[in-house]
Amino acid sequence: MSSATIRRAFLDHVFYTQGKLPGHASGNDLYQALAHTVRDRLVQRWISTAEAYQSQPSRTVAYLSAEFLMGPHLGNNLVNLGIVEAVRGAMATLNLDLDHILAQEEEPGLGNGGLGRLAACFMDSLATLEIPALGYGIRYEYGIFHQSIIDGMQVESTDTWLRNGNPWEIQRSEWAVEVRLGGHTEHYTDDRGRYRVRWVPAKTVVGVPFDSPILGYRVNTVNTLRLWRAEATEAFDFHTFNRGDYLGAVNKKVTSENLTKVLYPNDETQQGKELRLEQQYFFVACSLQDMLRLLATQGLPVTRFHEKFTVQLNDTHPAVGIAELMRLLIDDHGLAWDEAWHITRRAFAYTNHTLLPEALEQWPLPLFQRILPRHLEIIYEINARFLDEVRIRFYGDESRLARLSLISEHGERHVRMAHLACVGSHTINGVAELHSRLMREDVLKDLYEMWPEKFTSITNGVTPRRWLALANPRLTRLVSEAIGDGWIKDLGQIRALEPYADDPSFRERWQAVRRENKQDLARLVRDATGVVVDPNSMFDVMVKRIHEYKRQHLAVLHIIALYHRIKSDPHADVQPRTFLFAGKAAPGYHYAKLMIRFVTSVAGVVNRDPQVRDRLKVVFLPNFNVTHGQKIYPAADLSEQISLAGKEASGTGNMKFAMNGAITIGTMDGANIELRDAIGADNFFPFGLNASEVYALKAAGYHPSTYYDSSPELRAVVDLIQHGFFSKGDAAVFRPLFDGLLQHDPYLLMADFASYLHCQQQVSAAYGDPERWQRMSVLSSARSGQFSSDRAIEQYCKRVWHAQAVPVCLLHRSSGQVQGARRAEADGIGTFSERCGGSGS
């Protein structure tokens, strides 16, 4: 694919697709034209992939997720196609800057954070490993809200990512399906005397699939991300039209289309919102119908569903799929219960992503009944049979029955989605070793005791394509010069970098790369916030969703302690640091929003104080998203992973930082533990109570005020806040944050404060020794190989999905008549011939 070909194709798209002369093209025109140029180069592989899957008996992974936080597509596709430099060159001949064009893409932010981004990394790895896979989700018209900071506070606005159109998707109206909602059920006996149920819905909506290509790295495989959009049915409006009520009909149309309008912006909490349940059921029902259609096109009977598909539930959000598949098999396909249950249980597997009990999904029974009356009946039946099994296994244990029931009976009755997911799945996994253990011992203990053999652990991973090759081209070049570029596809190979940690000239180049990355980030920070930061200072970074359990406020207490040290003794030994925070707070989570205000208020004081402003800088970068992440991870010196032990299921930001050469300060929580083991205790700064100590301390009775009483530094810090020092003398502003701390402190800030400060002191000392720091930094990257999502996907394939790679042969448009010819002819685009072997073209 030469520069000249790309240039020609690009200019054609500027002219024919955007309808512009190059001289008049806007930034968006240039982006759209380049995106179409690249998409064209994916189509042949995409069609070839579909043909390969169609003609093989291979198993397909259906990854069901309410969120896919993909981030921008264009740059990633260039990396995976291996044409970044060719395209950069082509653009340069037109006096255009590729990076400027890439920056025009509105990222699809169809996720809240970790869980949605994990789904995106998994899609990249599935394609790279050539595993037949379909990602199924929701095409939200508005993704995660846009965050601005006004007067130090978060202000949300809608994310209109589709404003300029989406060049990556293809609408597939021919595969639209109908989804029913509400109404009631009727029971009858069919002509063969069998008991049957008819669901009479209150409304029907149409699901229209939009497909985006997911290209693997340097392979022919292009998998599909299929996102569903809700539309109104014609039939449904008919009666209203006939009554002459045109506006009423239009109104109903609007109501239907509301279903996929917006992503719910709360993670880790769950409010029983009707529309959210409708969204979940909607995309799951669409996806299962789609799978049944695909099964039929291969001439396979529904009884072989589980052989053709392995369906992964990304948390419980799609767990209603278990009841839906039962309904489809029994009500629509006439299977008996036992046969349907056999198929269902062999098809589904469930990944749990949380240890917070308040985050476990539960739906109030009346709401569930109103929206999914037939599914509730099915869930009752699943529950009755399940509890019969429990009664026999745990004879006489009545309280266990109540704990295990799919229906919780505390106060208002609820459907427990995690229980449904466990009962209906063959495999259940946690996302880090500690998380999986606590899942077995605590959150899902009773379910574990029921079926210990179903439980496993697969530690999360992130894709080195986006998070290194794309985000950090300078480091990528340096690493590849040293050890070749095999690590991009097989991150374990990056270990070959280890000896270079002791090579002074390599370390120097390493430092130079990181230094340039810091300068880039400094520019971004200045443009976004007006704050000028010094790339010589340590970049101390905490970017993630704002949550009490993640403890952004602990990081701020440290900043205040340093501030206090300098103010008390201007000669105090404080290493220059730039503290960078970013992350969104759920709009209704007042405490989290107050934490943002706390960061920006402290920033306001610290950055303005002439005595400290050359040594400490605090920045809150608004609107953290994938695009910002790509600039931040490569420029961080210190990665803050400071959640209370036992609360963060895994974390994935920790891995992105480590790969890019940041050093971690972290608690023994989530995947931090495995990260520390991999990178070596000498190259990692652990602090704080571990999960068992947290448990023991809480059990023994935790009294936060004792820490306040016994530590003068902690007292000084808390007093400054309480006296309104950071809120222009208004002591009331942050009172909700700190009254809590001295009385309840559920996330044990007071208990971990001393350990955190002590550890930060050691971090400063290490940073003061550049040779040591750069060595640690190289080792951090060199030893991060196991945190590739490729490793995670390989484990899912072996242990959960039993799916194998299907290499894709490229089909060529030509006059030959081999496979695919019939369809190609029908499409009027000529015929295809097949060429196998070798990847790329």
Answer yes or no whether residue 268 interacts with ligand 26Q by CB under 6 A: yes
Answer yes or no whether residue 212 interacts with ligand 26Q by CB under 6 A: no
- Give how many residues touch ligand 26Q by CB under 6 A: 24
Shortest distance, CB of residue 379 to ligand 26Q, whole angstroms?
17
Q: Which one of 652, 664, 667, 831 is the catalytic residue?
A: 652
How far is 376 from 371, CA to CA, in rounded Å? Answer: 9
One symbol per residue from 115 to 134: x for binding ligand 26Q (CB under 6 A), - otherwise; what is it? x--x----------------
In the block, residue with structure tokens 């790279």: 128
Whether 652 is catalytic is yes
Nearer to ligand 26Q, 319 or 479 (CB): 319
Q: Which one of 353, 454, 676, 775 is the catalytic residue?
A: 353
Answer yes or no whether residue 353 interacts with ligand 26Q by CB under 6 A: yes
Overall size of the chain counted in residues: 841
Answer yes or no whether residue 253 interacts with ligand 26Q by CB under 6 A: no
How far is 118 from 70, CA to CA, in rounded Å? Answer: 9
One symbol per residue from 629 to 648: x for binding ligand 26Q (CB under 6 A), - otherwise; what is it? -------------------x
Shortest distance, CB of residue 87 to ligand 26Q, whole angstroms?
32
Question: Which helix H or strand E contains 53, and what residues bound it?
Answer: helix 27-54
Stretch that binds ligand 26Q, among 184-192, 240-248, 649-657, 727-735 (CB under 6 A): 649-657
How far is 737 from 729, CA to CA, in rounded Å? Answer: 16
One of 140, 236, 264, 738 touching ligand 26Q (CB under 6 A): 264
DSSP codes, 94-157: TT--HHHHHTTPPP--BS-SHHHHHHHHHHHHHHHTT--EEEEEE--SB-SPEEEEETTEEEEE
Shortest distance, CB of residue 316 to ligand 26Q, whole angstroms?
8
Shortest distance, CB of residue 181 to ligand 26Q, whole angstroms?
17
One of 649, 673, 689, 720 touching ligand 26Q (CB under 6 A): 649
Task: Read off the tokens for 255.
Answer: 């109501």
Stretch that binds ligand 26Q, among 110-118, 135-143, 332-340, 373-381 (CB under 6 A): 110-118
Q: Which one of 495, 545, 547, 551 is the catalytic residue?
A: 545
Helix segments in 298-432, DSSP class H = 305-308, 321-327, 337-347, 365-371, 373-393, 398-404, 417-423
One of 32, 80, 459, 460 touching ligand 26Q (CB under 6 A): 460
One symbol per residue from 295 to 334: x for binding ligand 26Q (CB under 6 A), - otherwise; what is it? ----------------------x-----------------
Q: Which one of 226, 550, 551, 783 is the catalytic residue?
A: 550
Answer yes or no whether residue 64 interacts with ligand 26Q by CB under 6 A: no
Return the sign of the alpha-carbon dihedral for residues 447, 453, 457, 463. negative
Answer yes or no whether residue 650 interacts with ligand 26Q by CB under 6 A: yes
Shortest distance, CB of residue 483 to ligand 26Q, whole angstroms?
29
Give the contacts of 299 (CB within 8 A, at least 6 positions apart): none
What are the contacts of 514-520 at 24+ separation with CB within 8 A?
A: 514/475, 514/634, 514/635, 514/637, 514/661, 514/777, 516/474, 517/472, 517/474, 517/475, 517/634, 517/635, 518/635, 518/637, 520/631, 520/635
CA-nearest of 503, 459, 449, 453 to 481 is 503
Contact 747, 546 (CB under 8 A): no
Whether 544 is catalytic is yes
Cβ–Cβ contacts within 10 Å for residue 345, how many? 17
One of 224, 266, 405, 427 touching ligand 26Q (CB under 6 A): 266
Task: Read off the tokens for 664.
Answer: 């971690």
Shortest distance, CB of residue 120 to ligand 26Q, whole angstroms?
11
What angle in degrees, to the nearest 10, is found between the helix axes of 84-93 and 27-54?
150
Q: Residues 652 to 711: which contact ligand 26Q by CB under 6 A?
A: 652, 670
How far is 310 from 317, CA to CA, in rounded Å? Answer: 17
One of 349, 431, 531, 595 touching ligand 26Q (CB under 6 A): 431
Answer yes or no whether residue 605 interacts with ligand 26Q by CB under 6 A: no
Shortest distance, CB of residue 32 to ligand 26Q, whole angstroms?
31
Nearer to ligand 26Q, 67 or 107 (CB): 67
Whether 353 is catalytic is yes
Q: Residues 361 to 390: which contact ligand 26Q by CB under 6 A?
A: 361
CA-nearest of 621, 638, 615, 637 to 564 is 615
Q: Residues 545 to 574: which contact ligand 26Q by CB under 6 A?
A: none
Whether 656 is catalytic is yes
In the block, residue with structure tokens 């439980």: 455
State the residues that interact with ligand 26Q by CB under 6 A.
112-115, 118, 264, 266-268, 270, 276, 317, 353-354, 359, 361, 431, 460, 648-652, 670
Catalytic residues: 353, 544-545, 550, 652, 656
